[in-house]
Amino acid sequence: MTNTNALLRSGTLALLLTMSVTLTSGLIACSDDDGNNTCAANLLPGDLVITELMPNPEGADEGKEWFEIYNATSTTIDLQGVTLVYSRADGTSRKTHIIESATIGAGEYMVFGGIIEVAMPAYMDYAYADDLGSLTNTGGRLAIECNDTLVDDIVYLEGASGISIAYDGGRVPDAIGNDVITDWCDSSSEFEIDNLSTPGEANDPCEGVNPDGTCLDGGVTRDILPPQAGNVVITEVLPNPAAVDDTAGEWVEVYFAQAADLNGLQLGDAGDPVSMTVGGTNCISVAAGSYVVFARNADSATNGGVTNVAYEFGFTLNNTNETVSVGYNSVVLDAISYASSEAGASLSLDSAILDSTANDDATNWCDGLVAFGDGDLGTPGAANSSCGFVPPDSCIDPSTTNSRDLVPPVAGDVIITEFMANPSFAGDTDGEWIEVYFAQDADLNGLQLGDASNPTSMTVTSADCISVTAGTYVVFARNATVADNGGLTNVAYEFGFSLNNTSETISVGYADTVFDEVSFASVEDGIATSLSFTALDVTLNDDAGNWCDAVASYGDGDLGTPGDANPTCP
């Protein structure tokens, strides 16, 4: 659509808004002109929305004037008894037509024409003959009434010849939103020769923003808050929906790390990086941390079930070898490219990697995993699923499913306190275990455990954060299965090396640095070797005099206190 707004060719926005409020308050209690409450549907304000009108068709107007209504509800509406109203812009010279029989489906558009039914062209759905008179080229008022309810109304001014006046197609049709005069503009799509319009279909987006870089926030003019490079990240795309056709179900998700206004934001593809510009005079604000969905179709009834579309775009996403870009003021802020896409599954950036540089790496993407709407896979408008990739020195917090920095253990806070090298009630390969005390909070991820032959024989690896709190005794064992390991119920992680029964050294460390190690000459059968409770220190546990045989039994009958504080050695 052009930036020229037909509704503003004469008069001012302030005048029109004042007029609209006056008319609404004066007509809210009107029924049809005969005083009969005949509307069957008991409609509420906003259930139907006026979205487009052609007051000045090219050539003779007779039989070519029409207007379009949208069903904003989730159910089919019986229009019998609904009153269509046309008047001058000031509400005088009111004419009405009561719909005799018609229905409009959920999320559908319906075109009403000033023509007799037998002469209706294919693009019109209902004929009101000459009941409403002529839609004057220089302005008027259209309204929809149901019994005593004003469902929707608009006031327009001058209409250009052969060009319809349309509510911004980038917005979901809304009976409050369409009161904002500057969110209407001239249609740009050629419906037929000498006819720019989109009867019966979603309108073209109104491109462009206020030339002075401002927008209306609650009726107050303020500067647009533009998005900034680095804070705008393309996080998900669905180029190849399976539940609906591509033209109805394609969408792009963009993450905003900081608050911004969408006004002026540009979206595009390989053919045109700035194919679409978010228009409108009202500020379209998004909060920091928002996932914003742009789609080919904003109607959740026909777009595969996406319920939170912020703005529509008109370009096509190729299923293979495509680039998607988002920018502002003709400067690309982020772009991603993909070689192929699976039918019915989005391409999804790993939830832990919200970065406009890291999303250039195809290995940070995976297919959507969660079903939405009508069954395709993806998370439009929400944080993505994890692809199983974790950035270096990070892990996924299970409580939030978000990535966070690892909390590494610190030398001096990690102490070997007990070990079972020669179990009786399980074989050595199942029943051996080592207990490590953590004096401070830490993540086990990256912790290393070993013996004399290899101090870093085992490294704790997990995408999820494995957290332990200060004062915790953590058990590492050859086997985590309680039925096989002698009755150990609290194994945090398994290790694969063997503990010798004589002349052995056990070590624990991080990043190939040993934090603590203990050596022993021999052990008793079925009895753990325990560090005295009074010697919780990486220096004191080097003294063999601070160790003794365990006396309390656990599990199937061996002696030890795996996972609990040890007693004081005699």
Average pLDDT for 486-513: 96
Q: Are residues 379 and 457 in the same domain?
A: no
Mean pLDDT of the chain, nearest integer: 89
Task: Tell me the average pLDDT across 388-414.
Answer: 85
Q: Are residues 164 and 263 in the same domain?
A: no
Rg (CA), the chain: 35
> Does residue 511 share a domain with residue 439?
yes
**Cα angle, residue 558 at apex, residues 557 and 563 outer, rounded to 5°:** 105
Question: Of 372, 389, 406, which residue sits at a domain end?
Answer: 389
Residues 328 and 254 in one domain: yes
Average pLDDT rounded to a whole number, residues 394-410: 87
Q: What is the pLDDT of residues 142-191, one digit of tens each?
A: 999 999 999 999 998 777 889 999 998 877 888 988 887 778 888 888 88
Domain count for the chain: 3
Task: Answer yes or no: is 558 within a domain.
Answer: no
290 and 163 in a common domain: no
Beta bridge partners of 95: 86
Q: Which amino acid is at 389?
A: F
Could you say which of 389, 424, 442 is where a domain stops? 389
Q: Name residue, tokens 């309390």.
A: 552
Nearest to 453 by CA among 506, 402, 411: 506
Instruction: Report phi then psi at 36, rounded to 5.
Output: -95, 130
Give kind and range of the element (H or E) at residue 384. none
Q: Last residue of a domain, which of 389, 422, 450? A: 389
Give the percent of the chain with pLDDT over 90.
71
Q: Cβ atoms within 10 A of the Cβ of 89, count?
A: 19
Tell me what pLDDT residue 217 has: 87
Q: Considering the entire predicted model, what is its pTM?
A: 0.48
- Structure letter (DSSP) for residue 102: -
Domain-embedded: residue 404 = no
CATH number of the domain to which 537 belongs: 2.60.40
Residue 556 belongs to some domain of the structure? no
Instruction: Evaluate whether residue 226 is within a structural domain.
Output: yes
Q: Please, are residues 145 and 152 in contact by the beta-carbon 8 Å criterion?
A: no
Give DSSP secondary structure letters for 385-428: PP-S---TTEEEETTTTEEEE-----TTSEEEEEEESS-SSS-H
User: Is 224 found in the same domain as 183?
Assistant: no
| 297 lies in the same domain as 175 | no
Residues 17-25, mean pLDDT to the nearest whole number: 37
Phi/psi region, residue 117 (left: phi>0; alpha: psi -120 to 50; beta: rest), is alpha
State the Cα torsion 327-329-331-336 to the nearest 10°: 10
Nearest to 307 by CA among 470, 96, 74: 74
Q: Which strand (E) or helix (H) includes residue 248?
A: helix 246-249
Judge whether 562 lies within some domain: no
**Strand 285-286 vs strand 260-261: parallel, antiparallel, or unpaired?**
antiparallel
Say if CB 29 and CB 13 are below 8 A apart. Answer: no
Query: Is 292 within the bounds of a domain?
Result: yes
Report the CATH number that the domain containing residue 83 is assigned in CATH: 2.60.40.1260
The pLDDT of residue 89 is: 85
Query: Which uninterrupted H or E stretch holds 8?
Result: none
For residue range 428-451, list pLDDT tens digits in order. 999 999 999 999 999 999 999 999
Number of Cβ within 10 Å of residue 49's Cβ equals 23
In the numeric block, the tokens 């419906």 are attached to 191
Inform me whether the pLDDT recorded for 419 exceeds 80.
yes
Over range 375-389, report the average pLDDT: 89
Say whether pLDDT at 13 is over 70: no
Residue 37: pLDDT band with limits 50, 70, 90: low
What average pLDDT does the segment 81-90 reach?
A: 93
pLDDT in tens, 329-343: 889 999 999 999 999
Range of the structural domain that residue 234 is part of: 220-389
Q: In terms of domains, do 353 and 240 share one?
A: yes
Bridge partner residues of 450 (DSSP): 507
Give a yes or no: residue 146 inside a domain: yes
Is 492 found in the same domain as 360? Answer: no
Asked if 422 and 284 sit in the same domain, the reply is: no
From CA 296, how far away is CA 316, in angstroms rounded?
8
pLDDT of amino acid 277:
85
Asked if pLDDT for residue 389 goes beyond 80, the answer is no
Q: What is the pLDDT of residues 445-492, one digit of tens each?
A: 999 999 999 999 999 998 889 999 999 999 999 999 999 999 999 999
Asked, for residue 408, whether it belongs to a domain, the answer is: no
* Domain co-membership, 181 together with 138: yes
Indicate whether 230 and 167 sit together in one domain: no
What token pair was written down for 501?
């029964």
Residues with Cβ < 8 Å from 421, sequence gap 6 or more? 428, 432, 499, 500, 501, 504, 520, 523, 529
